[in-house]
Amino acid sequence: MQFRDQISFVGQHIKKNKMRVFMTVLAATMGTAFLIVLASVGFGLHETIRGEVLSNRLVTQIEVFSSEMHEEKVAELKKRDHVKAVVFRQNIGTEQQSSIGNFTGNNPLIVTDFIEEEKANFELQEGRLPEKANEVIVGSNFAEYLMNQQDENKDGEFTTYDGKLIGEQFIYQVGDNEGELIEDEMMLTIVGIGKKPAKDWEQDQKIYADASIIPELEKIYYTHVDKPADDHSDAQQLFYGNVNVYADKLENVKAISTALKDDGYSVYSISDELDQLDVFFLALKAGLVFVGTIAILISSIGIFNTMTMAVTERTREIGVMKAIGADPKLIQRLFLMESAWIGIVGTVLAVVISYGVSIVSNYVLPIIVTAALGEEDFGDMTVTFSVIPWQLVVIASTISIGVAMISGWRPARKATKIDVINALRQEL
Amino acid sequence: MISVRNLNHSFKIGKKGKEKRVPVLKGLTFDVPEGEIVSIIGKSGSGKSTLLHIMAGFLTPESGEISVQGIQTSSFNEVESAKFRLDHFGFVFQNFQLMPGLTAFENVELPLTLKGISKSERQKKVKDLMQSVGLTDVQDHYPNELSGGQQQRVSIARALITDPPIIFADEPTGSLDSETEQDVLLLIQSLNKTRGITFVIITHDDEVAQTADRVYRMHDGILTEGGVQHAI
Query: Cβ–Cβ of A323/B158 closer than 8 Å?
Result: no
Of B59, B95, B115, the CB nearest to A421: B59
Chain A residue with Cα closest to B81 = A325
CB-CB contact of A252 with A80 (8 Å): no
Residue B231: its pLDDT value, please? 39
Between the CA of residue A112 and those of A64, A137, A174, A203, A210, what are the distances in Å? 15, 11, 18, 19, 6
Best of B99, B112, B160, B170 to disrupt the A interface (most A CBs within 10 Å) is: B99
pLDDT in tens, B7-19: 899 888 888 888 8
Give the minimum alpha-carbon distance from B231 to chain A in angstroms, rounded to a whole number: 32
Mean pLDDT across B138-162 = 89
pLDDT in tens, A384-415: 888 898 988 999 999 999 988 888 888 888 88
Give the pLDDT confidence score for residue A36 in this predicted structure.
92
Which pLDDT does position B232 carry in this prediction?
38
Spatial distance between the Cα atoms of A88 and A98, rounded to a whole number of angstroms? 23
Give the model's pLDDT for residue A223.
84
Q: If we measure between CA atoms, which residue out of B144, B11, B12, B159 comes closest to residue B88?
A: B159
User: Are the Cβ atoms of A327 and B95 closer than 8 angstroms?
Assistant: no
> Looking at A57-210, which runs of residues are DSSP E strands?
61-65, 83-92, 96-100, 103-105, 109-112, 124-127, 135-138, 147-152, 158-160, 169-174, 186-194, 207-210
Hey, is the C-beta of A166 within 8 angstroms of any chain B C-beta? Answer: no
Substitution target from B81, B103, B113, B144 for chain A, most A beta carbons within 10 A? B113
Mean pLDDT, all residues of chain A: 85
What pLDDT, on the 0 to 100 scale, is given for residue A218?
86
Cα–Cα distance, A292 to A309 (Å, whole number) = 27
pLDDT of residue A139: 92
Cα–Cα distance, A274 to B155 (Å, whole number): 71
Q: Shortest CB distance from A325 goes to which of B100, B111, B118?
A: B111
Question: How far apart are alpha carbons A351 and A340 in whole angstroms?
Answer: 16
Phi, psi of A87 (to 5 degrees): -100, 115
Task: Give me the percent of chain B exceeding a pLDDT of 70.
Answer: 97
Angle among Cα A334, A338, A344 to the nearest 5 degrees reads 135
Between these two residues, A74 and B199, which has the higher pLDDT value? Answer: B199
A171 reaches B (C-beta below 8 A): no
Beta-carbon count within 10 A of B173 CB: 26
Residue closest to B206 by CA, chosen among B183, B187, B181:
B181
Beta strands A109-112 and A158-160, pairing class? unpaired
How far apart are the CA of A324 and the nearest CA of chain B, in angstroms?
A: 6
Q: Taking residues B30-58, what's their average pLDDT? A: 88
* DSSP reduced 3-state for A10: helix
Low-confidence ranges of chain A (pLDDT < 50): none
**Four-point Cα dihedral A274, A279, A281, A285, nearest 10:** 140
Q: What is the DSSP letter of A182?
A: P
**Which amino acid belongs to residue A406?**
I
List of chain B residues whose C-beta atoms are within 8 Å of the C-beta of residue A323: 56, 58, 85, 91, 97
What number of C-beta contacts closer than 8 Å exist between A and B? 69
Pairing between β-strand B198-203 and β-strand B166-170 as defined by DSSP bridges? parallel
Of all residues in chain B, the one with the smallest CA distance to A419 is B58
Check residue B145 and give its pLDDT: 92
